[in-house]
């Protein structure tokens, strides 16, 4: 497997960033976020994991050593008590307010941006207790603006044995691919066989790295073969002028895993600020379609 290309040297060159995103479908920035800051967020989440007994008895919380009997796959019935407490952690959501992230998204999209309030925490138990996220495109799941950008941020060092994310470079050029049901987070896998694209890339991720990719870029997780929990965040940005999707019967941008996770008024009780999960006024909303539809047209994209 090839190594991700480090784009730190062109972080302030808008034309070069857009050209590389258009070519590869991803951008990688090692240590973009300050180490001390990320350590603080990790410590807050580790405290929740400790209190939820997801960490091995007798170990230090910062080691993230997984409990043999409590740490389970995302979405299992015993997962939601712990995850609700993580989603109620103010510092986790305030990752989205870092100017390093907002500024990068704004340069790429060339428009005023906003961050989706549905911030996702991935607390991945070791394999085989947890199935890795299958290779997929975000577009069918989030819909709305095709140029929505996902930032995947490891909140603790993620060496090769802990897995981490991998991206299929250039796959965004294939457009919206067909999908089939699959085990693991998201529940779907993209049909890339026979596409002619076979350029998977990953690396030894460090705490505070940022891997950014388009909603059409095929990506997935590698198996966590360590004895530690893999801890990361998914944060998504889009242009305010472009449509956002919602499901009938639900207000847009509810918390991740709502209603198994409480709504914002409950999660934010006791917070000193809720700006990290506020939705801009005047957005253009469109209804979500069936994510398993056989034929989904590919909307025009600035990166294809």
Q: Average pLDDT, stretch 210-237?
A: 98
In sequence order, the 6+-apart residues with CB closer than 8 A to the CB of 68 are 56
Q: How far apart, in Å, are the Cα atoms of 220 and each of 164, 186, 198, 223?
A: 9, 10, 14, 10
- Length of the chain (residues): 304
Cβ atoms of 123 and 83 closer than 8 Å: yes
End-to-end CA distance of the chain: 24
Q: Average pLDDT, stretch 106-111?
A: 97
Tokens of 264: 């914002």
In sequence order, the 6+-apart residues with CB closer than 8 A to the CB of 128 are none
> Which long-range contacts (C-beta less than 8 Å, at least 24 apart) are formed by 244-250?
244/116, 244/144, 244/145, 244/283, 244/284, 244/285, 244/286, 245/142, 245/143, 245/144, 245/285, 245/286, 245/287, 245/288, 246/285, 246/286, 246/287, 246/288, 247/287, 247/288, 248/287
Give pLDDT tens digits for 151-190.
999 999 999 999 999 999 999 999 999 999 999 999 999 9
Q: What is the separation of C-alpha 231 from the centre of its chain, rounded to a whole number of angstroms?
A: 11
Give pLDDT tens digits for 63-98.
999 999 999 999 998 999 999 999 999 999 999 999
Q: Please report the pLDDT score of residue 35 as a whole number.
A: 96
Tell me the C-alpha distance between 105 and 256, whole Å.
Answer: 21
Q: What pTM was computed for the model?
A: 0.97
Q: What is the separation of C-alpha 127 from the centre of its chain, rounded to a whole number of angstroms?
A: 19
Q: Please report the pLDDT score of residue 121 as a whole number.
A: 98
Q: Is the pLDDT of residue 248 over 80?
A: no
Q: Please report the pLDDT score of residue 250 as a whole number.
A: 78
Q: Could you give the angle at which helices 35-51 and 80-87 cross, rounded to 10 degrees?
A: 140
Q: Is the pLDDT of residue 21 over 90?
A: yes
Q: Please report the pLDDT score of residue 1 as a whole number.
A: 84
In sequence order, the 6+-apart residues with CB closer than 8 A to the CB of 234 are 119, 120, 122, 150, 151, 152, 153
Share of the chain above pLDDT 90, in %: 96
Q: Please report the pLDDT score of residue 116 as a whole number.
A: 97
What does 153-201 look like in DSSP terms, one character per residue? EESS-B-GGG-EEEEETTGGGG-SPPEEE-SSTTSEEE--TTSS---EE
More confident residue, 252 or 260: 260
Q: Average pLDDT, stretch 126-149?
A: 96
Q: Please report the pLDDT score of residue 247 as a whole number.
A: 84
Average pLDDT of the chain is 96
More confident residue, 1 or 102: 102
Pairing of strands 188-190, 219-222: unpaired
Q: Is the pLDDT of residue 132 over 90?
A: yes
Nearest CA to 74 out of 65, 86, 64 is that of: 86
């Amino acid at each position: 497997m090839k190594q991700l290309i480090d784009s730190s040297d062109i972080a302030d060159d808008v034309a070069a960033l857009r050209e590389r995103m258009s070519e590869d479908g991803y951008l990688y920035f090692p240590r973009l976020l300050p180490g001390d800051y990320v350590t603080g967020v990790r410590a807050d989440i580790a405290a929740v994991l400790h209190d939820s007994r997801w960490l091995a008895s007798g170990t230090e919380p910062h080691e993230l050593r997984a409990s043999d009997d409590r740490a389970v796959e995302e979405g299992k019935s015993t997962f939601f008590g712990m995850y609700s407490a993580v989603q109620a952690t103010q510092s986790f959501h305030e990752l989205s307010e870092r100017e390093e992230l907002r500024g990068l998204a704004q340069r790429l999209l060339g428009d005023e941006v906003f961050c989706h309030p549905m911030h996702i925490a991935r607390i991945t138990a070791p394999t085989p207790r947890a199935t890795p996220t299958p290779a997929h495109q975000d577009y069918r799941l989030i819909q709305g603006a095709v140029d929505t950008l996902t930032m995947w941020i490891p909140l603790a060092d993620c060496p090769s044995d802990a897995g981490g994310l991998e991206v299929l470079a250039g796959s965004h050029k294939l457009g919206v691919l067909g999908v089939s049901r699959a085990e693991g987070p998201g529940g779907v896998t993209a049909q890339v066989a026979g596409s002619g694209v076979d350029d998977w890339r990953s690396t030894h991720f460090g705490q505070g790295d940022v891997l950014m990719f388009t909603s059409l870029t095929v990506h997935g997780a590698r198996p966590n073969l360590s004895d530690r929990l893999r801890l990361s965040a998914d944060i998504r940005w889009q242009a305010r002028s472009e449509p956002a999707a919602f499901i009938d019967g639900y207000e847009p941008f509810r918390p991740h895993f709502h209603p198994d996770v409480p709504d914002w008024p409950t999660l934010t009780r006791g917070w000193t600020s809720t700006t990290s999960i506020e939705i801009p006024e005047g957005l253009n909303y469109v209804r979500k379609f069936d994510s398993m539809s056989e034929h989904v047209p590919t909307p025009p994209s600035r990166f294809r």
